Structure 1
Amino acid sequence: MQRKLSKATTLLFAVTAGQASAALFEVDPGPYDPAIGSFAAWYQDTHGRTLDLCLSKNVSSRVAGAPGAPSYMCSLLPEPGVFDDAEPLVFPTNFPPEAFWFTADAAIADAASGIDLTFGAAIEAAFAVEEPAEGDQISFARIRIRVDVPTIGTYTVTHPYGVEVFDVTAAEFGADGGRAINMTRDIGIGAPKTYNGALGGDIGPFLRSVNGPYAEVNPATGQLDRFIGDPNLDEPVTGSPFDTNYVRIQGPGGIDLRTNLFAISGKLSEVVRPTPVIVQRATYSRSSGEAGLSTQQDVFAMAPPPPATAQYLDSAAATVPMTEANATGNWYGQSSANATPPATVEVSADNSVAIPNSTPTTLSAPLVDVVSIQRAEYSLNSGQLTLVASSSDETEPPALTATASSGAAIGTLGGDGATKTLVTGISPTPPAKVTVTSASGGSDTEEVVLLP
């Protein structure tokens, strides 16, 4: 996952209600409690951890606070005249203008190279007009990277939720390189009290301390609350969907620095939630050769990593165990059963060992073939589009049909085998992309190559 940023100083705001496969899984659908500002009570990630909006005043038993500055386990930010943390929380008259379901902060400071980097990731609760007000509640997923650099050039920052590439020009470098890289990407800001936009952000699963969870006494209730980290400590973490549980910066002159230490905040919820499961792919293939019929069913799913377990029932109702390699929550299983479309598989996952109140989940998913477009070319001279595509079902090849990126029908590919062809005239302009869809459910989309 890599992004190229043409300018080093960037401020991005995006609105989306979609769900990224490596991001969060679900959000409290409401109704929303006025006692917590009518914000969503919780967000759940694909590893099964559910975090409450962190507003409690638990303090760390590992790091002592200072007078007037308690070592809170939540990222509570006092603001004079708006939120006095020494007084009871009351919305909207004494409420933080910013609160968090999750935060992860890291830093790299290296005098020898001249690099001074700060990284922040958060799921944040805020207000459209900044100060607390009913009807202005918003939430978003934030990635923030700020770096002082020693020289112009290209810098690559790898972090738990992706890779960012910055081109620092002379104009952006300034006199001393101070904050030449300044990126904030907030995703999910939508209509007030609409909290599902953050599900499509960059954050998720939640990073968590390898030493946690931590239990601390809630001074308001006397009960023990549990936290995925202590924001007063810098600790190694786990949870990156890409197995990059660190921040690394590479740049001109051989700069290559990293840290695996993060300050993490997040209060584990007591709400009972099912084990999250996302079926990423369920496909079959079959072919005939000298050795006879060869068949397989491949299933990929996102679910909590071990000690959670995952399996699926193939189209023959046989149980197939799934495996996970690197604690990212990406599971895979394969069956040799012969599938006759239409067919389905049932994927099941259980995370109750890691999270005792988590309930098992079973999802049904269609089993489809794999469609591959080998050729998608358009001749500007002749106005003809040429498509060549194939299905993974070589024994009973399904029909393949093509559509343009606009959704307009192009035609049916012809041929007796699994590989089929279509040559047709299209005018006055070529499609930017084409999608070939199989009668057995599979599809592939490719950009059209333009020829003279």
Structure 2
Amino acid sequence: MHPLLSKTAAALVVSALAQGVAQAALFAVDPGPYVPANGSFAAWYQDTHGRTLELCLSKAVSSRVPSAPGAPTYMCNLLPAPGIFDDTQPLVFPSNFPDEAFWFTGDGTIVDAARGIDLTYVSAVEAAFSGGDPIEGDQISFARIRIRVDVPTAGTYVITHPYGVDVFNVDTPGRRAINMTRDIGIGVPKTYDGALKGDVGPFLRSVNGPYTETNPVTGSAEQFVGDPNLEEAFTGSPFNTNYIRIEGPNGLDLRTAVMAISGKLATMARPTPMITQRSTYSRKPGASAPVAQQDVFVLAPPPPAKVTLDSNNPVLNLTEANTTGNWYAQSSTNPSLPSTLQVTADNHLAIASSTPTTLPMPLTDLVVISRAEYSLSTGQITVVASTSDETSPPVLTATSGTGVAIGALSGDGAVKSLATGISPIPPAKVRVTSSNGGTDTEEVVIVQ
């Protein structure tokens, strides 16, 4: 079951969201049709590192951790529930089906009895039912981060984990003084794309995996990104924080670099995921010709994947430095405008079934607003902005954040300005757009 938050936990969620750091890094979800064998849930989710995990319903058991009578060491987090799901019987939806199932789980603990710290950390992409029990039409999915900590002292605690940083101000210490659950993605039943916007992703994985086990029902070999029966070193954090750490009063600083990971690798072929982030150019006068550069940023699987700027002559390899999947390249080509770049990501060395993905990236100038100021006494707004194209400065036009026209900026060079009257209400934000495609948005500073 997925219990509702207590009032205390809800308050902590607000604090965590306000102060935490998160990066949604799931890329795609099974679009359907959805079949009863999966409880009419999405069959799979794919992350930005290219791994695709199926809804984990296999009864394969660990070959590393022996099962005990009545307690199989399943490679999936299968949770028996009396009257709902009997794991000794065949899965049949809805008469014998778990009320909770998972595409991914990553769980860890930090326990220091001497210092009074007992921390439980949960990350998951979960399948559940809006009414609790398995019923057709109640299927939901969500990405979950849960942090529960017993602390002995009031004060501020900072918890760094694979998917971000959360800060908690504790007034009353004790059991579960920190009690936060953040579920993102719950929406209309049988709509599964909400979890793509959650905090979980890319999927964590054991550094010792993938593990291959035999499904006793089908006799097929299956692969898993981790073994939930073991706490192991892992990788995959989008921030390269492959650990859990708690810092707090009186010099408290504890961490663990092991977690229990579960997830069943899918076997279908999927394109290499790639998200284009930025492609901008700049140029300025040189001694004999303009000095130009093009900067290209994409999010794609880390090495051994490869990302190339195919439209450059010669083809240019992008570089990635810290296994987070953030790729960059710079070209010195002076572009002819308008121009569209072409980038290809290929992850077949990491995932043999992965196919290359090629995407277009419109090349634009880089616009930077250096001043956006409104005077209450004069009713004047002043906007100063620049373009990265110093040799052929394009037209820069200002609008409000909601798209209401303000006017064109003037000036002969790359830096242009605008001062005009707006009344009686100033815009909250101003956007400056270049005729060469660049844009920047800033909040308006209000002065007397």
Q: What TM bracket, shorter-length normalisation?
A: over 0.9
Cα distance between partner residues in 2 of 1:437 and 1:249:
44
What is the deviation of 1:58?
A: 0.4
Q: In the alignment, what sits opposite 1:17?
A: none
Cα distance between partner residues in 2 of 1:52 and 1:257:
34
Q: In the alignment, what sits opposite 1:241?
A: 238
Cα distance between partner residues in 2 of 1:59 and 1:427:
69
Residue of 396, 411, 416 corresponding to 1:400: 396
What is the deviation of 1:12?
A: 5.5
Cα distance between partner residues in 2 of 1:237 and 1:433:
42
Cα distance between partner residues in 1 of 2:210 and 2:328:
28
Provide closer, same or farther for how the CA distance between residues 95 and 12 of structure 1 changes in structure 2, counting only shifts above 3 A. farther
Provide closer, same or farther for how the CA distance between residues 68 and 108 of structure 1 changes in structure 2, counting only shifts above 3 A. same
Residue of 210, 233, 242 corresponding to 2:207: 210
Paired positions, count: 435
The answer as to 2:337 corresponding to 1:341 is: yes
Structure 1, unaligned runs of 5 or more: 1-5, 14-19
Cα distance between partner residues in 2 of 1:409 and 1:236:
54
Deviations 1:250-279 (A, max 9, x none): 111111111110100000000110001111
Q: Secondary structure at the match of 2:258?
A: coil
What is the deviation of 1:11?
A: 6.9
Does the aligned pair in 2 maintain the 1:376–1:388 contact within 8 Å?
A: yes
Provide closer, same or farther for how the CA distance between residues 140 and 197 of structure 1 changes in structure 2, counting only shifts above 3 A. same
Q: In the alignment, what sits opposite 2:190?
A: 193
Residue of 92, 113, 120 corresponding to 1:111: 113
- Equivalent AA in structure 1 for residue 355 of structure 2: T
Q: In the alignment, what sits opposite 1:448?
A: 444
Provide closer, same or farther for how the CA distance between residues 259 and 9 of structure 1 changes in structure 2, counting only shifts above 3 A. farther
State the identity %.
Answer: 67
- Equivalent AA in structure 2 for residue 215 of structure 1: T
- Equivalent AA in structure 1 for residue 364 of structure 2: V
Cα distance between partner residues in 1 of 2:313 and 2:83:
64
Cα distance between partner residues in 2 of 1:21 and 1:370:
24
Does the aligned pair in 2 maintain the 1:22–1:241 contact within 8 Å?
A: no
Q: In the alignment, what sits opposite 1:296?
A: 293
Structure 2, unaligned runs of 5 or more: 1-6, 15-21
Does the aligned pair in 1 maintain the 2:209–2:226 contact within 8 Å?
A: yes
Residue of 89, 92, 96 corresponding to 1:90: 92
TM-score by length of 2: 0.94
Does the aligned pair in 1 maintain the 2:12–2:178 contact within 8 Å?
A: no
- Equivalent AA in structure 1 for residue 308 of structure 2: Q
Does the aligned pair in 2 maintain the 1:370–1:392 contact within 8 Å?
A: yes
Q: Secondary structure at the match of 2:34?
A: coil
Cα distance between partner residues in 2 of 1:351 and 1:10:
42
Cα distance between partner residues in 1 of 2:29 and 2:346:
20
- Equivalent AA in structure 1 for residue 74 of structure 2: Y
Does the aligned pair in 2 maintain the 1:7–1:168 contact within 8 Å?
A: no
Does the aligned pair in 1 maintain the 2:8–2:179 contact within 8 Å?
A: no
Cα distance between partner residues in 1 of 2:190 and 2:297:
34
Q: In the alignment, what sits opposite 1:135?
A: 137
What is the deviation of 1:340?
A: 2.1
* Mean CA deviation greater in 46-55 or 22-31: 22-31
Q: Secondary structure at the match of 1:124?
A: strand
Provide closer, same or farther for how the CA distance between residues 291 and 113 of structure 1 changes in structure 2, counting only shifts above 3 A. farther
What is the deviation of 1:246?
A: 0.6
Q: In the alignment, what sits opposite 1:424?
A: 420
The answer as to 2:324 corresponding to 1:328 is: yes
Does the aligned pair in 2 maintain the 1:9–1:180 contact within 8 Å?
A: no
Q: In the alignment, what sits opposite 1:158?
A: 160
Q: Secondary structure at the match of 1:35?
A: helix
- Equivalent AA in structure 1 for residue 143 of structure 2: A
- Equivalent AA in structure 1 for residue 115 of structure 2: S
The answer as to 2:147 corresponding to 1:145 is: yes
What is the deviation of 1:407?
A: 2.0
Residue of 61, 70, 73 corresponding to 1:71: 73
Q: Secondary structure at the match of 1:179?
A: strand
Q: In the alignment, what sits opposite 1:257?
A: 254
Does the aligned pair in 1 maintain the 2:23–2:199 contact within 8 Å?
A: no
TM-score by length of 1: 0.94
Cα distance between partner residues in 2 of 1:117 and 1:51:
27
* Mean CA deviation greater in 54-63 or 20-29: 20-29
Does the aligned pair in 2 maintain the 1:10–1:182 contact within 8 Å?
A: no
Q: In the alignment, what sits opposite 2:435?
A: 439
Q: In the alignment, what sits opposite 2:17?
A: none
Cα distance between partner residues in 2 of 1:341 and 1:181:
55
Q: In the alignment, what sits opposite 1:184?
A: 181
Deviations 1:178-198 (A, max 9, x none): 111111111111101100011
Q: In the alignment, what sits opposite 2:18?
A: none
What is the deviation of 1:339?
A: 1.1
What is the deviation of 1:433?
A: 1.2
